Structure 1
């Protein structure tokens, strides 16, 4: 039954486009983790060398942020804020200070990095805990990534947002071609980064994979060799893992925003609708509703509160 439901989903080309695009983002983030971590560590060290006031500890150890503002800030943390904005490509846009623990800016380069990222990352402590959106936004907004062509970065961010907010979980072929072009232009810039070279190879394999071939033998499994059945089961497990990773990321994002008291009503309504669509999709597929039973309970709990 599980394989039949998976086969039905993969028979839809636009669904496989959605699935492949999401898996490419997961591969991309794994390649970007070490690159962004190294850059931010070097950037953090340079700031400490260039600006002597930043070498002092927070004067209160309790400076904090609320929403998009530093609700309390000593002289040292105020200096950090000035330097962060100085190295921000768009300092007049919203800076998500609530991602950060200001007293840690002096000692933790990733607390610094989170000032350049989307909201909701306060609990993230390292590069390898970030998704592709967080890392791409970091590259886009922080001036320390001067050598990167930002056009494909911004295009991949835009495609990622369209992908994650697709209520139908389907992407058309022309969208996929645009996404593939920008993704390749992005990764080609990092040909000297070993982790990104590996990511580029994996992305090529994903984009060229014919998922329908993996399931074509399902209707004839009674008469095929056990090795072939084993191969199909392996492929099915892999595709199921792709689904789970992408859906889990969507659930995390939507549940966080829908449960965020600081969000404005329009944004919360939009994300609640997207969460409702995601819940409906999971419930319509028994294999997914069983796998994400806990998350579905959370979605239903949010509905009851509306």
Structure 2
């Protein structure tokens, strides 16, 4: 127990580890600021699809369920939804054969009634039990932004930069990042947040990220 305590104290006095904690906190702050805006965008997107394509209002006829990334067995009405979803995937570029979506994130019979089931088609794996934007992490929301064309005014490069930093953070075997890494990460976050200056919550996000960034390491000692 004493050895573990000593190791923990060493961790808490390690600047690289504190940087790692601060970077993770920034992702949480980012998610909290973005999810209300993203939820509204997807809700509006869902409503627009239903208005533009009345056939999407038809209920599923077979309690459809994707088999991994395979949706060939879905009923006609759910297939209409897969077509609409693919049409709005940024990577499709008119050729949906080269787009691999994580269909098993979704419950197809709910596409016509639940806007977040629509959102999950554009997100990374592991979203099947997620019921809304507030339950997603920052990475999932950022992937939604770059995959769905309902966010046309957001610079994809700035989003992808933050995703890359997030991946580096999560895959740090020592849970440790340098001051230089933090500087570049914070600059990347600022560039991303500039894309959302019209979102009311973003000003608070900026302030909170600045507060996290200025947090100084507090020395911990064993008594």
The answer for the alignment partner of 1:18 in structure 2 is 20
Alignment match of 1:102 (pick from 98, 108, 114): 108
Match of 1:70, SS? coil
Aligned counterpart, 1:87 = 88
- Asked whether the equivalents of residues 156 and 183 of structure 1 are also in contact (C-alpha less than 8 Å), the reply is yes
Unaligned regions of 5+ residues in structure 1, if any?
222-306
| 1:159 and 1:179 in contact (8 A); partners too | yes
Task: Report matched runs for 1:108-187 at 5 Å.
Answer: 108-187=114-193
Structure 1 distance, partners of 2:120, 2:210, is 30
User: Following the alignment from structure 2 to structure 1, what is the Cα–Cα distance between the partners of residues 200 and 9?
Assistant: 35
Q: Deviations over 1:58-90 (max 9, x none)?
A: 122x11112111252111111110110110011
Matches within 5 A, 1:223-234: none
Q: How many residues align?
A: 216
Write the deviation string for residues 216-243 of structure 1: whole angstroms up to 9, x where unpaired: 6x57x9xxxxxxxxxxxxxxxxxxxxxx
Matched, 1:30 2:32: yes
Distance 1:44 1:124 in 2: 17
Higher helix share: 1
What secondary structure is seen at the aligned counterpart in 1 of 2:208? helix
Cα deviation, 1:9-33, whole Å, max 9, x if unaligned, reads 1322211111111110011111111
Kindly state the Cα deviation for residue 130 of structure 1 after the two structures are TM-superposed.
0.4
* CA contact 1:190–1:197 (8 Å) conserved in 2: no
| CA–CA distance in structure 2, aligned partners of residues 174 and 185 of structure 1 | 17
| 2:219 equivalent to 1:215 | yes
Greater Rg, structure 1 or structure 2? Answer: 1
**Residue deviations 1:142-174, cap 9 Å, x none?**
000112111111100111111111111111222
Q: Which residue of 1 aligns with 2:95?
A: none
Q: TM-score, normalised by structure 2?
A: 0.91
**Which residue of 36, 40, 51 corresponds with 2:53?**
51
Gaps spanning 5+ residues in structure 2: where?
A: 93-97
